[in-house]
């Protein structure tokens, strides 16, 4: 299958400042899901830092069983393999860090992060992140972090309320440049995280970018929906939700929605 024309190792590599992330690249015109392919390759010993990129996904996966809108030639759909020496419960932190890295790479005041790991611009979703892993009870074999960034798309199907870099800025972007900037920042942040295995060094960044803090939100997990005030995250990446009775509960996974500004 043909590689993506405007992003291949030839265009990406000169823009990379990484030592391992993106140095191994599989770039395909079409895949079902870059997460699925990256996980298959990780299970066959793909190296840490392998990036799998597709111009179009026929079955792009979102969180909680949703699909991810993946039209051809417009956006970025990629997944990478990490092999952190950490307990499996720490792996979701990698998606939180990735959201912070993307926000940093995009370098605009209108960007924000939304727990657990979305990147938004001007009140609309720009980017989604899906992490999966393979582990034993105590050891992480590998993590796959999949990222979809709406880059040059200007029309979304009805029902998808999202935005793109092009819609926010009125111009098109080079997908290779966006991808390289994101990979460069993610590797830097990942190295920092690896030396702490905690979000402690990222807490200030999260606080300054979080769109939920101080707002009344709903947090859905499974069949349960809690309402409360978002009060930040823990250094493990759990959402702190202050309930109407004043107690603060910690939420490990789920969807969040703002009810009141």
Binding site for ligand BTN (CB under 6 A): 33-35, 57, 60-63, 66, 68, 77-79, 118, 128-130, 146-148
Q: Sign of the CA dihedral 45, 49, 50, 52?
A: positive
- Adjacent-strand bridge partners of 108: none
E-strand ranges in 13-123 read 25-31, 51-57, 76-82, 111-114, 118-121
Contact 206, 198 (CB under 8 A): no
Give least dist CB 151 to ligand BTN, A: 12
Give least dist CB 243 to ligand BTN, A: 26
Give least dist CB 135 to ligand BTN, A: 19
Give least dist CB 79 to ligand BTN, A: 5
Residue 78 or 193: the one with the smaller Cβ distance to ligand BTN is 78
Contact 16, 184 (CB under 8 A): yes
Q: What distances in angstroms separate CA 50 from CA 71, 103, 167, 191, one per listed residue?
A: 23, 22, 30, 16
Give least dist CB 100 to ligand BTN, A: 15
- The shares of helix, strand and coil residues in the chain, as percent rounded to the nearest 5, are 30, 35, 40
Residue nearest to ligand BTN (CB): 128
Structure tokens, 43:
């299970």
Q: What distances in angstroms separate CA 39 from CA 116, 133, 145, one per listed residue?
A: 21, 8, 9
**Residue recorded with tokens 């200007």:** 154
Residue 49 or 128: the one with the smaller Cβ distance to ligand BTN is 128
| Terminal-to-terminal C-alpha distance of the chain | 48
Residue 63 or 175: the one with the smaller Cβ distance to ligand BTN is 63
Residue 120 or 229: the one with the smaller Cβ distance to ligand BTN is 120
Give least dist CB 239 to ligand BTN, A: 16
Instruction: Dump the DSSP string for 40-68.
Output: HHHHTTPPTT-EEEEEEESS-B-GGG-B-
Give least dist CB 127 to ligand BTN, A: 8
């Amino acid at each position: 299958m043909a590689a993506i024309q405007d992003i291949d190792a030839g265009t990406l590599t000169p823009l990379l400042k990484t030592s391992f992330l993106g140095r191994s690249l599989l770039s395909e015109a079409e895949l079902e899901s870059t997460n699925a392919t990256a996980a298959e390759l990780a299970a066959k010993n793909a190296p840490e830092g392998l990036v799998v990129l597709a111009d179009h996904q026929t079955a792009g996966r979102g969180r909680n069983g949703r699909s991810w809108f993946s039209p051809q030639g417009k956006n970025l759909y990629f997944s990478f393999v990490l092999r952190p020496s950490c307990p499996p419960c720490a792996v979701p932190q990698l998606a939180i860090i990735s959201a912070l890295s993307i926000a940093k790479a995009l370098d605009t005041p209108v960007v924000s992060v939304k727990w657990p790991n979305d990147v938004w611009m001007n009140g609309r979703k720009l980017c989604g992140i899906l992490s999966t892993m393979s582990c034993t009870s105590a050891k992480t074999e590998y993590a796959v972090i999949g990222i979809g960034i709406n880059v040059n798309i200007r029309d979304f199907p009805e029902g998808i309320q999202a935005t793109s870099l092009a819609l926010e800025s009125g111009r098109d972007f080079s997908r290779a440049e966006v991808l390289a900037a994101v990979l460069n920042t993610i590797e830097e942040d990942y190295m920092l995280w690896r030396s702490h295995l905690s979000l402690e060094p990222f807490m200030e960044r999260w606080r300054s970018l979080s769109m939920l803090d101080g707002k009344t939100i709903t947090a859905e997990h499974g069949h349960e929906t809690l309402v409360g005030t978002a009060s930040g995250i823990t250094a493990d990446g759990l959402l702190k939700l202050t309930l109407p009775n004043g107690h603060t509960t910690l939420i490990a996974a789920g969807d969040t929605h703002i009810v009141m500004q």
